[in-house]
Structures are given as structure tokens and as C-alpha cells.
């Protein structure tokens, strides 16, 4: 049911588009058909101006519509292979050239939040913003000890606007699920839920500061990426104070080249940073548009990225990470059979999917992109074709991976601008091979085993009581089973795997303990103790591999 507030918001969207001469979008969008007749009675329709370039009209419309639409434009601005150059150039201005709110208002917010006059908090504070974005803007300042910092301040009233737009997105998602045949497979409501979590997290600058501190620790000993230091005493939910950095914007390719920057190294480092964050750290910067990335060219032969704006970060669960790594490697090795099998095993496509047909479809889409430089590959077109393939096999969108997909698009856009001849596959494949090899190593296996021991101990202790409860319910006729056959099959297989894993873990652990005890007994040969313990390790590894 559309509420009056949502109706008014839909009307405003139409009026904004009409005011900027974009009424052709309204007239062709199905979602606006019920109210599009109102456009013709609007004065904006009759007085609209079309003398401004189309890119400028689109940018201004997105700015007027608010933060969520601005962020959509920011993402599009990195996809120059999908957009005409004039539109891409205009949308790029949304990255850090959103019209600012008054500097005096920012000063008042800082003073009210921190409880002191700006003159006491800082030696210097500039009311003229350094940059202005859709959710906050940044002001230059200097601490009383002389250190240069930036002060990030949330826009007044931004939370109310964002929550209103989120309500509208839920409405659109609901209408899509009701009237669009493919919407249920794409799960628009779940995608909106994921986006809601992300966008609301951006409204808490304490959370952003914590994200920055984590990334700084992750790359503390790395020459790949520098993360500014947070000044915690002056950081609150709507105000954040951070070390001021100096560098060349990553989008300023001409300046980078003028400094003699090794552009190939810079592009390859960007790929390595992405895969390091996703697979090694499992904590990745998920808003890597050009406005948030700078380059330290102090040593042009070894350029270093500098990141800002940490409001959006992403993590993956272990299963998703392992799945993605194996998928990437299978793609790199052109093992399309394995790609198809992984999709079925993960449940992304229905269990009854014919693997041979799915394999052939994936090969048809992916084979043309190999052995070609990045400048000749359009991942946008590849995604469109994969989308068409997914429709054939009823593959569902995975909302938990939306952030990762968005980040991949940003990475490709940056790589295309910096070094069009970058061989993404050649750069990424060795990294993924090393990571998968490391995950299968004895050290990693023992680490996972050690981490799982407390849970295993609890399971062993609780199992008798649980079995007794189940038997009691059976004897009293209270146990009911209401599982569908497919769910029952999955449960049985999961139980089999768990029992096999538990059996090998317990047996292996017992052998290791026995070996240790034998080693402590006088007269027992050392080789016998080592052999028993070694057999225990082999049993555990074998069980892990089998399960």
C-alpha cells in the first residue's frame, strides 16, 4: 500500500526530473505510470530548459534528489565503458563536488557536539569546506599541538532524508516483486535491506573511525596503502577528526604521469590491495570511487595509495570467501565445469540444474574475455551476458555479495583509467593460488581445528542429553517431523559430513594425546610416540579433506 508520504516523494522525483528536462525518463518508466499524467500539469514541464548539456542535467537532478541518488551517480561515474563520456564526466563531479552546506552551520555542529568553542578545540578551523559529499563535508583544521587534521561533519537533517528514501526503495522493491516476473529471483527486498544497513552505518562517524583504525592496523607494515590516523578525543557520532593527508587524486592521471609515476605498478597494486582486503584480511573498503582515493608520489617508482572515507566496509563469511576464491581460480583456469559445479554446490542455482548445460553457457560468456588487456574487456557487457545466462538457469542474486560486486566495479573503473593494458587475470591469479594453497596447509588446518575445539567439546558434552531428549519425545509420541524431502536430503548430507568430521577429529585428537602420553612414559620408544601422534595428524587432515 502506497502511503501519502511515498506518493508525495514519487511526485517530487517526477517533478525534479521534469525540471531538469529529463521528462523522457518519466514517460518510459513503468513505476511512474500511475501518476505521470501530473507531469503535464506541472509548470516545470512547460518552463523546463534544455539548453544545458544532458550530463549536467542528469547530475543536477541526482543532486536535488538526495544522498541515495548521489551515491548511485557516484557508482555510475566509474563505469566509463558503459556511459557516454559527457555523462561520465559530469557524474564524476558527484564524488566530491556536491554543493556544500554553510560553513557556519558546520562550525555550530562541531561546537554543540564537542561542548566547546572551535577556538578552544583547534588552533585553526576553516569554515570553507575542502570537499563536500552527499552525507557529510570536510573542513581543514589544525590541532593546538600543530598537527594538520580534517574535520568531517554530517549534513544537517540527512538521516531524515535517507530514511524517507529508504521507505521509497522498499515500496519500489515491493511493486517490482508484485509486477515484474524476474524480481523474485533478484530478491530486491533483500538487496534493499543490505543497502539500508550500509547507508545507515555511514551516518555514524564513530563507526567510520573504527573502520579506519582497523584498516590502518591491517596495512601498518605495508607499502601498498596508507590509512590516516583518527584523533579519538574529538570524534563523535556526527563529527570525526582525522589526520590530514596530501596526495594526487587517483583520477588526475595527467598529474600522476607528470610526476613520473609507474602507472603499471600503481594499477597492479590496486588489484593486490583489493584481493588482500577481501581474502587475507576479510575487511575491505567498499566505497573506492576516485573521490576517496589519493596517491602518494613521493617515490614515483613505488607509488602508494592513500584512502579516505571509511563509512562503507564489507566482510564475508568463510564459506563465501572460499567459494569466491575457488570460483575465481576456476575462471582463470577456464575450468567452466568446476564453475558450474560450485554454483550448484553453493545453492545459487537449483539443485536439479543440468551441469553440462550450465557449463556450456558459462563457457560461451567467459571464453572471449581471456588473453585480452583490460582496455579490450568490458566487464559491464560481461555482467549483462551473465545476467541473461542467470535468467535461463534461475540463478538468484546473493544480497550479501552486493558490496563486493560494487567494489569490483569500482576497481575495474580505476584500473581502466590508470593503465588500460593491465592484465587483471595475470595480476590476480598468483595471489589467489597462494591464498588457496595457504588455506589447505597443515598450519591453517591445525589453526581451524584449534579454533573449533571448544565447540566440539560442547557438542560432545551436550550430545547425550540431546539424544536422551529426542528418545524421550519419541517414546511419548511428541516428536513430529515436518521436513520436505529436499530439505531432508540436505540435512542428512550435512549430518553425514558432520559425523565424519567429528569422528576423524575425535580419533585424531585421541591419537595425538596418546602419542604425548607415550612420550612421557619411561621406556617407551620415541619413534612409537611420534608415529602415534603423526597418525593422529594424518587422521585429522584426512577427515578435513573428506568433509
Question: Distance (Å, rounded) from C-alpha 435 to C-alpha 433?
Answer: 5
Give the Cβ contact number of residue 246 at 10 Å. 9
CA-based nearest residue to 250, from 289, 286, 290: 290
At 394, give phi and psi (nearest 5°): 55, 35
State the pairing for strand pair 284-285/313-314. antiparallel
Question: Distance (Å, rounded) from C-alpha 336 to C-alpha 386?
Answer: 13
CA distances from residue 458 to 46, 240, 390, 445 in whole angstroms, order as listed: 72, 43, 42, 20
Q: Single out the catalytic residue among 96, 287, 296, 309.
A: 287
Question: Distance (Å, rounded) from C-alpha 93 to C-alpha 56?
Answer: 10
Question: Distance (Å, rounded) from C-alpha 493 to C-alpha 502?
Answer: 14
H-helix segments, 374-525: 379-392, 402-418, 424-439, 442-476, 485-520
CA dihedral 286, 287, 290, 295 (to 10 degrees): -60
Question: Distance (Å, rounded) from C-alpha 420 to C-alpha 179?
Answer: 41
In b/e form, how buried is each residue of 430-457, taking b as 16+ CB within 10 angstroms?
A: ebbeebbeeeeeeeebeeebeeeeeeee
296 tagged catalytic? no
Question: Distance (Å, rounded) from C-alpha 129 to C-alpha 106?
Answer: 9
CA-based nearest residue to 393, from 428, 358, 356: 358
CB 303 within 8 A of CB 265: yes
Catalytic residue ranges: 287
Amino acid at each position: 500500500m502506497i502511503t501519502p508520504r511515498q506518493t508525495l516523494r514519487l511526485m517530487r522525483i517526477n517533478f525534479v526530473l521534469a525540471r531538469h528536462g529529463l521528462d523522457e525518463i518519466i514517460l518510459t518508466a513503468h513505476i511512474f505510470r500511475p501518476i505521470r499524467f501530473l507531469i503535464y500539469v506541472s509548470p516545470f514541464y512547460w518552463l523546463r530548459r534544455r539548453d544545458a548539456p544532458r550530463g549536467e542535467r542528469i547530475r543536477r537532478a541526482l543532486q536535488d534528489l538526495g544522498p541515495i541518488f548521489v551515491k548511485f551517480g557516484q557508482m555510475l561515474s566509474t563505469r566509463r565503458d558503459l556511459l557516454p563520456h559527457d555523462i561520465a564526466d559530469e557524474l564524476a563531479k558527484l564524488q566530491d563536488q556536491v554543493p556544500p552546506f554553510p560553513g557556519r552551520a558546520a562550525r555550530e555542529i562541531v561546537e554543540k557536539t564537542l561542548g566547546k568553542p572551535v577556538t578552544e578545540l583547534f588552533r585553526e578551523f576553516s569554515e570553507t569546506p575542502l570537499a563536500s559529499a552527499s552525507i557529510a563535508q570536510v573542513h581543514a583544521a589544525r590541532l593546538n599541538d600543530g598537527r594538520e587534521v580534517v574535520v568531517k561533519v554530517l549534513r544537517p537533517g540527512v538521516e531524515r532524508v535517507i530514511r524517507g528514501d529508504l521507505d521509497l526503495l522498499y515500496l519500489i522493491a515491493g511493486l517490482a516483486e508484485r509486477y515484474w516476473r524476474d524480481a523474485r529471483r533478484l530478491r530486491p527486498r533483500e538487496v534493499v535491506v543490505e543497502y539500508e544497513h550500509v547507508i545507515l552505518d555511514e551516518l555514524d562517524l564513530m563507526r567510520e573511525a573504527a573502520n579506519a583504525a582497523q584498516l590502518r592496523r591491517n596495512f601498518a607494515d605495508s607499502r601498498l596503502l596508507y590509512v590516516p590516523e583518527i584523533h579519538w578525543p574529538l570524534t563523535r557520532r556526527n563529527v570525526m577528526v582525522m589526520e590530514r593527508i596530501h596526495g594526487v587524486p587517483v583520477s588526475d592521471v595527467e598529474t600522476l604521469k607528470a610526476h613520473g609515476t609507474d602507472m603499471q605498478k600503481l594499477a597492479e597494486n590496486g588489484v593486490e590491495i583489493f584481493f588482500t582486503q577481501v581474502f587475507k584480511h576479510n575487511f575491505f573498503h567498499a566505497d573506492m570511487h576516485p573521490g576517496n582515493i589519493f596517491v602518494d608520489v613521493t617515490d614515483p617508482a613505488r607509488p602508494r595509495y592513500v584512502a579516505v572515507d571509511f563509512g562503507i566496509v564489507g566482510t564475508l563469511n568463510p564459506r563465501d570467501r572460499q567459494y569466491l576464491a575457488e570460483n575465481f581460480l576456476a575462471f582463470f583456469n577456464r575450468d567452466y565445469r568446476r564453475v558450474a559445479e560450485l554454483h550448484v554446490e553453493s545453492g545459487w542455482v537449483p539443485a536439479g540444474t543440468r551441469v553440462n548445460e550450465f557449463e556450456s553457457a558459462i563457457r560461451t560468456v567467459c571464453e572471449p574475455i581471456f588473453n585480452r588487456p583490460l582496455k579490450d574487456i568490458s566487464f559491464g557487457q560481461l555482467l549483462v551476458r551473465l545476467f541473461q545466462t542467470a535468467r535461463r538457469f534461475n540463478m538468484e542474486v546473493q544480497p550479501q555479495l552486493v558490496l563486493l560486486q560494487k567494489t569490483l566495479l569500482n576497481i575495474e573503473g580505476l584500473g581502466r583509467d590508470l593503465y588500460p593494458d593491465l592484465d587483471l587475470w595475470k595480476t590476480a591469479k598468483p595471489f589467489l593460488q597462494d591464498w588457496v594453497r595457504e588455506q589447505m596447509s597443515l598450519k591453517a588446518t591445525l589453526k581451524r581445528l584449534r579454533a573449533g575445539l571448544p565447540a566440539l567439546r560442547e557438542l560432545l558434552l551436550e550430545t547425550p542429553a540431546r539424544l536422551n531428549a529426542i528418545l524421550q519425545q519419541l517414546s511419548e509420541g511428541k516428536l513430529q517431523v515436518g521436513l520436505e524431502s529436499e530439505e531432508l536430503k540436505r540435512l542428512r548430507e550435512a549430518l553425514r559430513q558432520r559425523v565424519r568430521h567429528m569422528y576423524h577429529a575425535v580419533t585424531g585428537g585421541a591419537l595425538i594425546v596418546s602419542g604425548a602420553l607415550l612420550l612421557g612414559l619411561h621406556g617407551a620408544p620415541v619413534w612409537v610416540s611420534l608415529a602415534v601422534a603423526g597418525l593422529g595428524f594424518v587422521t585429522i587432515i584426512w577427515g578435513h579433506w573428506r568433509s
